[in-house]
Amino acid sequence: MGKLLIVGTVAFDAIETPFGKTDKILGGAATYISLAASQFNIKSAIVSVVGDDFPKKHMDLFTNKNIDVSSLEVVKGGKSFYWKGKYHNDLNSRDTLVTELNVLADFSPVVPENFKDADVVMLGNLHPSTQMSVINQMAIRPKLIVLDTMNFWMDNALTELMAVIAHIDVITINDEEARQLTNEYSLVKAAEKIQQMGPKYVVIKKGEHGALLFHKTEVFFAPALPLEEVFDPTGAGDSFAGGFAGYLTETENISFNNLKRAVIHGSNLASFCVERFGTERMEDLQKKEANERLLQFKELTQFDIELQ
Ligand code: AMP
């Protein structure tokens, strides 16, 4: 069975969307990644840190989904990472109101012995030096290293971010962040520039407008499923990343064609995430529901055309 090592924040989030508000619910990049990846037949582990304010019921959620939390460090007397965001009416853009690193500020990640040979490493959103430290601890070069990041780290740790980007295979990034990283408006040009920085594959996420996968001269586009109800986009990007990395870990095939399927799996799981607040929908998502929706993706993207 393939092994997936997941690094990223495990957090408390406070979220405001046009449909409501929540205070201090479970969030964090590694949380969403691992919940999405748990849909696949793989072994997974989280490397992260929380404070002792982190409730047992959240830990139990991970364990019940067979996610190894032995390297999810709990700092006595420490406070967990806290993020507060408010979405605009279009739900495609948001303002970050608060980012409190708390225990993350002094975090030194420790990769568990039995995951030092992981097939896939998913470096979720976190300080790029922490992401780099995880790469350096691997006993053998993973088949695939995927990295997700955001503007916060471009603004606050660009040098470290560029260093880690040079060591990875796939970057998943949203359109605005791709533009910020490259100073290019065209996403095609931005993807080209990013490939020159290191990654062989670039995935640009465009929220409700889907995701683009670039590799040399090849491009693939996966739409987002048009949904009747979107309550809270938080975690969509991470659920995408979890679905993408989880599928590749299960199939152990990193051809471009399989990466295309991984993009569809990522989009599929992200579509569930946004249907309810926080992690609610991902917590009870059944494999059967995910499979049924995959068929909708197939119908949405297939057509016949005759050339005259
Ligand atoms: P997404 O909506 O997929 O971009 O991810 C949202 C999640 O990212 C939330 O659950 C936050 O806890 C987490 N998050 C927000 N800001 C940061 C940051 N600077 N570094 C790491 N994780 C973050």
Which pLDDT value is given to residue 213? 98
**CA nearest neighbour of 109 among 238, 253, 8:** 8
List Cα–Cα distances, 214 to 52, 105, 167, 199, 220, in angstroms.
42, 34, 18, 10, 7
Q: How far apart are CA 14 and CA 97, in angstroms?
A: 9
Q: How far apart are CA 288 and CA 210, in angstroms?
A: 23
Q: How far apart are CA 236 and CA 231, in angstroms?
A: 11
* Ligand 1 neighbourhood includes 142 CB (under 6 angstroms): no
3-state secondary structure of 237: helix
- Please enumerate in sequence order all residues whose Cβ is within 8 A of that of 105, keeping only pairs 6 or more positions apart, or say none: none
Which pLDDT value is given to residue 108? 95
Q: How far does the centroid of ligand 1 lie from the alpha carbon of residue 123, in Å?
A: 13
Ligand 1, atom 16, lies closest to the CA of 83
Query: pTM higher than 0.75, yes or no?
Result: yes
Which pLDDT value is given to residue 308? 81
**pLDDT confidence bin for 77, thresholds 50/70/90:** very high
137 versus 152: which is more confidently predicted? 137
**CA nearest neighbour of 11 among 84, 96, 67:** 84
Cβ count near 114 (within 10 Å): 13
Cβ count near 239 (within 10 Å): 30
Q: How far does the centroid of ligand 1 lie from the alpha carbon of residue 306, in Å?
A: 45
Q: How far apart are CA 271 and CA 36, in angstroms?
A: 11
Residue position matching structure tokens 């109800």:
229
Q: Residue 11 pLDDT more than 90?
A: yes
Compute the average pLDDT of residues 163-169: 98
* Ligand 1 neighbourhood includes 246 CB (under 6 angstroms): no
* Ligand 1 neighbourhood includes 279 CB (under 6 angstroms): no
* Ligand 1 neighbourhood includes 7 CB (under 6 angstroms): no
Q: How far apart are CA 188 and CA 164, in angstroms?
A: 22
Share of the chain above pLDDT 70, in %: 100
Residue position matching structure tokens 């119908």:
299
Ligand 1, atom 1, lies closest to the CA of 235
Which pLDDT value is given to residue 57? 96
Q: Residue 92 pLDDT more than 90?
A: no
List Cα–Cα distances, 62 to 40, 65, 127, 276, in angstroms.
14, 5, 22, 19
Average pLDDT, the chain: 95
